[in-house]
Amino acid sequence: MAFLAVACTTLGVAWVVEPFFAPTTWPARLGLVLGGTALLLGTIRLGLSQSTKAGASAQRYIDRLCELDSLGLQDDNSLDIVPVRKEDVQWRELAHKIRRRLAEFAAQADEVEMARAGVEVRIRRISAERDQLSEIVAGLSDPVLAIDPFGEIVLANPSAERLLDIRTTAESHPIFDQLQQCEELVNLLAETRRRKAPIQKSSELNLADSDGNERWYRVTCRTLTNPQESGGANDRNAAHGAVAVLSDISGTRAIQKRNAEFVSAVSHEMKTPLSSIRAYVELLVDGEADDEATRGEFLGVINDQTDRLQRLIDNLLSLARIEAGVVAVNKVPQSLNERLAETVRVLEPTAEQKDIRLTTDFSQLYLGVLADRDLLLQGAINLVSNALKYTHRGGSVTVRSKLNDQEVIFEVQDSGVGLSPEDCQRVFEKFYRVSKDRDMAQGTGLGLPLVKHIVEDVHGGRIEVDSELGRGSTFRVILPGLAQLSA
């Protein structure tokens, strides 16, 4: 603009002054025009050179800015190696402004980068946690399954897949309602999902496992609410997802059933002597017994039945205590023959009373066993006294011991009433009593179960019975010998 102004001025002046100087000649006019042009060109040249210098200065600052790394941005003097001249000041200030903006951008970029790294770490951690959780759920022996609000099974651990015969993958989610074999489970989960407020429900139901065995499961269902979806008024009516955890309680159920049966059997066994006691007491109270002999008879029955009740309770308690491990078991190496001899000494008077020949046939060897002295003695006494009970007068009972291939054996053989093959199977059951022999002796039906427990559970041996009806029975106890134990 400046150059144009100078040029116009020159030409204008030339044109105005022309009539006064009267350079009417064309050469003069031409000279004047040429002079003006030369003046104009000079001015333009000067302007261009100024502009080139400013451009070069700007270029230096731009180059310098480009060389700056993010660290250099922090250094205020980093631009000052370019010599500061008056005409450079504007570029220098511009460069400083740009440098400050760049420094701000760089700081923001650093922050963003740090945030990104933080997010990445969290993602990795969450992903690892999720993998670990999946592994834990997969490893659970209890079946676990989760369904989403659309009723698709989104998670089922291997136990659940086996139980319900389903397969879940990332791509395919079986529809829960279509599970045929477990209507009750479907209903329970459907009910859990329909609730407006999250709930937890549990129920016991039976399901057939993959082998077709009926098993009892305790199912706990919980509504799954997705926090991102909840909150809207409409969502309150929508179905939720749900998670179900099934625990196999077949074992507990079986124990409960066994306990109920046991309690029922115990109460029956207790009611029998109690019935007699009550009946005879009432007869006495009502004055039904006129003579001393009848009163004596009734009191005798009451006395016997009270003893029977007491024995039953004692046996029950010792069985319960031994089974529960309350009785301290103190196993020490000892001679089996010594315990058997002790047993025979205890029971000899009973045998004599019943006129039964009680003989022994002990091995000449030392039969060492690792056993609890009292329990072993109690087991042997139970077996021998049983033999005496179920052998008629004039019969015989033999207690025998022998060594058989490192196993120590003792047998109690009698010439008694014997057992049928069915009775042989059942004789170790609690409260089982051979019905035809009930009148022969009083029993609680707990003696042999106790022996079996002492032999098998406490001493790691086994017990067998050979018997023939009318010919007698042989109860055989096989215990690991000391040599076998140390081997």
Closest-CA residue to 137 (of 153, 158, 152, 154): 158
271 lies in the binding site for other proteins (CB under 8 A): yes
SS3 43: helix
Q: Does 286 bind other proteins (CB under 8 A)?
A: yes
From residue 420 to residue 449, what is the string marking binding to other proteins with x (rule CB under 8 A)? ---------------xx-xx----------
Binding part of the chain for other proteins, among 6-14, 62-70, 186-194, 282-290 by CB under 8 A, reads 282-290
Among 45, 162, 236, 268, binds other proteins (CB under 8 A): 268
Q: Which of 219, 176, 224, 225 is nearest to 201 (CA)?
A: 219
CB 315 within 8 A of CB 382: no
Residues linked to residue 241 through DSSP beta bridges, in sequence order: 224
Closest CB to other proteins among 172 and 267?
267
Give the torsion through C-alpha atoms of 12, 14, 17, 23, to 10 deg. Answer: -150
Region binding other proteins by CB under 8 A among candidate stretches 214-222, 233-241, 280-288, 450-458: 280-288
Question: Which among 143-151, 276-284, 352-360, 415-423 is the span making contact with other proteins, rule CB under 8 A?
Answer: 276-284
With binding defined as CB under 8 A, does residue 291 bind other proteins? no
How far lies 143's CA from each of 64, 155, 310, 429, 453, in Å?
69, 11, 48, 35, 36
DSSP state of 234: G
* Residue selected from 277, 344, 384, 409 as contacting other proteins according to rule CB under 8 A: 277
Within 10 Å of residue 430's Cβ, how many Cβ atoms? 21
Q: How far apart are CA 424 and CA 464, in angstroms?
A: 9
Rounded CA-CA distance 435/427 in Å is 11
Taking CB under 8 A as the criterion, the residue among 132, 267, 330, 425 binding other proteins is 267
Would you say 272 or 363 has its CB closer to other proteins?
A: 272
Residue 226 burial class via C-beta count within 10 angstroms: exposed 0-12, middle 13-18, buried 19 and up: exposed
Residue position matching structure tokens 């017990």: 463
Window 99-158: residues binding other proteins (CB under 8 A):
none
- Give Cα 53 distance to the centre of its chain: 82
Window contacting other proteins (CB under 8 A); options: 262-270, 332-340, 407-415, 477-485 = 262-270
> Which 37-96 residues touch other proteins, going by CB under 8 A?
none
272 binds other proteins (CB under 8 A): yes
Distance CA 271, CA 379 (A): 27
Tokens for 188, please give them.
């329970």
Question: For other proteins, which residue of 90, 127, 202, 264 counts as binding (CB under 8 A)?
Answer: 264
Closest CA to 319 of 266, 264, 271: 266
Applying CB under 8 A, the span of 65-73, 161-169, 266-274, 386-394 interacting with other proteins comes to 266-274
Contact status: 318 vs other proteins (CB under 8 A): no
Binding of other proteins at residue 226 (CB under 8 A)? no
Shortest distance, CB of residue 436 to other proteins, whole angstroms?
7
Residue ranges in 373-465 assigned as alpha helix (H)? 373-389, 421-426, 447-452
Give the pairing of strands 331-335 and 472-480. Answer: unpaired
Q: Determine which residue in the list 283, 346, 424, 465 makes contact with other proteins, applying CB under 8 A.
A: 283
Rank residues 302 and 477 by Cβ distance to other proteins and give the closer one. Answer: 302
Which one, of 402, 438, 441, lies nearest residue 423 by Cα? 438
Task: Assess 196 for contact with other proteins (CB under 8 A).
Answer: no
Q: 367 vs 118, 370, 377, 403, 483, CA distance in Å?
A: 75, 10, 15, 7, 10
Applying CB under 8 A, among 186, 279, 299, 465 the residue interacting with other proteins is 279
The answer to whether 305 contacts other proteins (rule: CB under 8 A) is: yes
With CB under 8 A as the contact rule, the residue among 282, 348, 352, 468 that binds other proteins is 282
Candidate list 62, 186, 239, 301; residue touching other proteins; CB under 8 A: 301
Q: From 130-138, 229-237, 269-277, 329-337, give the range in contact with other proteins by CB under 8 A.
A: 269-277
Least separation in angstroms between CB 359 and other proteins = 33
Residues that bind other proteins (CB under 8 A): 264, 267-268, 271-272, 274-280, 282-283, 286, 288, 294, 301, 305, 435-436, 438-439
